[in-house]
Amino acid sequence: MDTATKPIPTFALQQVGDPNVGVCEGDACIVDDHHSQAFVNRQIDEGLV
Amino acid sequence: MNETATNANEPVKVDIWSDVQCPWCYIGKRRFEAAIESSGVAVDIEYHSFELAPDTPVEYEGTPIQFLSERKGLPMAQVDEMLTRVTDIATSLGLNYDYEHIHQTNTVKAHELLHYAKAHGRQLEMKERLLEAYFVKTEHVGRIEDLADIAASIGFDRDDVVRVLESSEYLPAVKADMDLAMQYGIQGVPFFVIDGKYGVSGAQESESFANVLTQVLTERDA
């Protein structure tokens, strides 16, 4: 979605959480490379993978 | 949506916008479930429809890798690498995504089915079943007949499901959810509206979700 077509929110929300986590927008699902790899590495360190 | 809960004993209302073929939505669902368990906060979850690619044909011929490559103009290898990263994170949560065999499709009928299930008080069960169908079991979640089979597998009346999907009885509910997403300014999913005032975008770590849930309870007690 480009800037010109961004919706104007009617209801205000207090945004919380990490802004760099995985999210799907339009037909693309994006994630910051470093963040996702760091997460997987942590899971491996914790023996969860 | 229901009114915001204000009684300290009432569960925290959580409205979640999500699409069936959104890999982060399934990951976010698992992380949020972990947050509920770790925080001990009672929640009342309601899923809302968000169509990420409403112009996708039901009978799309190709894999998600081809789809994303075509749509985004990215080399297939780069898309494959992106999906591998997502798949690795899903695997770490016990979700075995099978991107080699997933059927990319249009999800509007799946969303209608979720509203049908909500009307029967079983939306959460249907949500889990549809995500599992798409990502893990690689069932087709775009065709009415396939969706009816999926619904029947968890005890719904197959003929009734075919009837409501063919009549598009719940299409207005899907569109209403999309309109509400616009009013909240939601541009991507998963998106969590917690207690009607906190907006949480994306598949956050479970600790982040737990912090918000705990904060809501703390504010109620104040």
Token pair 């009837």: residue: B163
| Least confident interval from B21-25, B43-47, B79-83, B139-143 | B79-83
Q: Please give the pLDDT value at position B165.
A: 98
C-alpha B169/C-alpha B86 separation (Å) is 34
Q: Which domain holds residue B55?
A: 18-175+199-221
What amino acid is encoded at B131 in this protein?
A: L
Tokens of B190: 């998963």
Residue B217 lies in a domain: yes
In a domain, B22, yes or no: yes
pLDDT tens digit sequence for B55-70: 999 999 888 888 888 8
Q: How far apart are CA B62 and CA B59, in angstroms?
A: 9
Domain at B99, CATH number? 3.40.30.10
User: Residue B11: inside a domain, yes or no?
Assistant: no
Residues of chain A found within 8 Å of residue B201, distances taken between Cβ atoms: 15, 17, 19, 21, 23
Least confident among B24-33, B71-80, B103-112? B71-80
Q: Which of A6, A13, A32, A40 to mutate to test the interface with B (most CBs of B within 10 A)?
A: A13
On whether residue B107 sits in a domain, the answer given is yes
In a domain, B154, yes or no: yes
The rounded mean pLDDT for chain B is: 93
Highest mean pLDDT of the ranges B8-17, B28-37, B65-74, B96-105: B28-37
Q: What integer pLDDT is reported at residue A43 of this predicted model?
A: 44
**Domain boundaries in chain A?**
21-49
Q: For residues B124 and B114, what is the distance between their CA atoms, to the nearest angstrom? A: 8
Give the C-alpha separation, B72 to B67, whole Å: 8
pLDDT one-digit tens code per residue, A9-44: 677 899 999 988 999 987 777 655 544 444 444 444
| Count of structural domains, chain B | 1
Lowest average pLDDT, out of B3-7, B55-59, B117-121, B211-215, goes to B3-7
Give dist(CA B17, CA B51) in Å, integer. 9
Placement of tokens 């899903």 in the chain? B90
d(CA B174, CA B77): 34
How far apart are the CA of A3 and the nearest CA of chain B, in angstroms?
11
* Measured distance CA(B120)–CA(B109) in Å, rounded: 17
| Residues B155, B34 contacting (CB under 8 angstroms) | no
Alpha-carbon distance of B23 to B136, in angstroms, equals 11
Contact B127, B47 (CB under 8 A): yes
Q: Which residues of A touch B85 (CB under 8 A)?
A: 31, 33, 36-37, 40
Residue B108, domain member (yes or no): yes
Given this model, what pLDDT does residue B82 score? 86
Mean pLDDT along residues B144-170? 98
pLDDT of residue A8: 60
B72, closest residue in chain A (CA to CA): A28
Residue B8 has pLDDT above 80, yes or no: no
Is pLDDT at B91 greater than 50 in this prediction? yes
Which pLDDT belongs to residue B39?
96
B110-142 pLDDT, tens digit each? 999 999 999 999 999 999 999 999 999 999 999
* DSSP class of A17: S
